[in-house]
Amino acid sequence: MAARQERPSDRFRGSWGKRLGLALALITAVALGGTAVPGVAQAKPDVVGGTRAAQGEFPFMVRLSMGCGGALYTSQIVLTAAHCLDRTGAITNITATLGAVDLQSSSRITRTSSYVYRAPNFNESTYVNDWALVKLSSPVTGLATMPIATTTAYNSGTFTVAGWGAAVEGGGQQRYLLKATVPFISDSSCSSSYPGEIVNSAMICAGYSQGGTDTCKGDSGGPMFRATTSGGPLIQVGIVSWGYGCARPNAPGVYTEVSTYASAIAAAAASL
């Protein structure tokens, strides 16, 4: 299994854990990108089959310097994936880039991290409980945050994913934010695509049976979201977690189901 990051113990999309189990040979053949950050796992996925997002379209999007994505949960806290990080603690060497679809834009906002909270029961072999919080050194003003789902009411339909990850499997990170839409896939169908892996009720899957559109290397930790009503406000339903490769047929993206952990996320954020 692989995460969508570059940590050898993660899965193909985040880091490389689960997918690593089934495709170690493939993973080692894939070029890795990103810059190592002490104490932080290195991430790898991006949006395959996506189009460029417009400036200001998703103001809550965050790029983390270890090669992961995230979303502004509050003005000072970023929600991301546990597999992007090694531990809980006063980690101050992560840089968050916000407020610009172009990572090189002169108008981009940056903040360093002051503390990281990694889900204490995260399982590195199954990717259960794959969520984490990064507290920024100071609040970010002028950018919208994104609420998270607290019930399963929005865990179906068509979702949007976005990130600066690779646009093709094995590719490099992107300068510009890409976006794509992917349809919900039931747990039973998702499980049949990943024999021997754990796809449980705390995970949510999305993608196309024919492949072609997916999150990828460098998108780990980024949000999967949808409108609450037609044309209504956006709500986060998932966190990019893992999958086999990127945009392969019958290999949908597997995401942390945010509603399962909503109470724990809120409690952890309140304690930071």
Q: Is residue 182 a part of any domain in this protein?
A: yes
- From 34-43, 102-111, 245-254, the region with the lowest mean pLDDT: 34-43
pLDDT of residue 45: 36
* Domain assignment of residue 78, yes or no: no
Strands, E, within the chain: which ranges? 2-3, 12-13, 51-52, 61-64, 68-74, 77-80, 95-98, 109-118, 132-136, 158-163, 178-185, 203-206, 223-227, 234-243, 253-257
**Pairing mode, strands 178-185 and 234-243:** unpaired
In this structure, is residue 201 part of a structural domain?
A: yes
pLDDT of residue 129: 97
Instruction: Examine residue 236 and state whether it is found in any structural domain, yes or no.
Output: yes
Tell me the pTM. 0.86
Ramachandran assignment for 130, one of left (phi > 0), alpha (psi -120 to 50 degrees), beta (any other): beta
Instruction: Give me the pLDDT at residue 33, please.
Output: 34
What CATH number is given to the structural domain containing 250? 2.40.10.10
Q: pLDDT tens digits, residue range 238-253?
A: 999 999 999 999 999 9
Cα gap 103→122, rounded to integer Å: 30
User: Which residue pairs from 137-141 have beta carbons closer than 8 angstroms and sit at least 24 positions apart in sequence?
Assistant: 137/92, 137/111, 137/112, 137/113, 138/76, 138/111, 139/74, 139/75, 139/76, 140/72, 140/75, 140/76, 140/98, 140/99, 140/109, 140/111, 141/75
Is 29 a domain residue? no
Domain that holds residue 198: 152-259
Within-domain flag for 181:
yes
Give the residue numbers marked as catalytic.
83, 130, 220
Taking 60 as the threshold, does the pLDDT of residue 41 lie above it? Answer: no
Q: Summarize pLDDT for 222-231 with one digit per residue, the tens.
A: 999 999 998 8
Domain assignment present for 41: no
| Range 141-167 average pLDDT | 96
Q: Is residue 187 part of a domain?
A: yes
Number of domains into which the chain is organized: 1
Cα(5)–Cα(108) distance, integer angstroms: 23
Please give the average per-residue pLDDT across 130-138, as a whole number: 98
At residue 234, does pLDDT exceed 90?
yes
Contact indicator for 76, 115 with CB cutoff of 8 Å: no
Rounded CA gap, 2 and 194, in Å?
A: 12
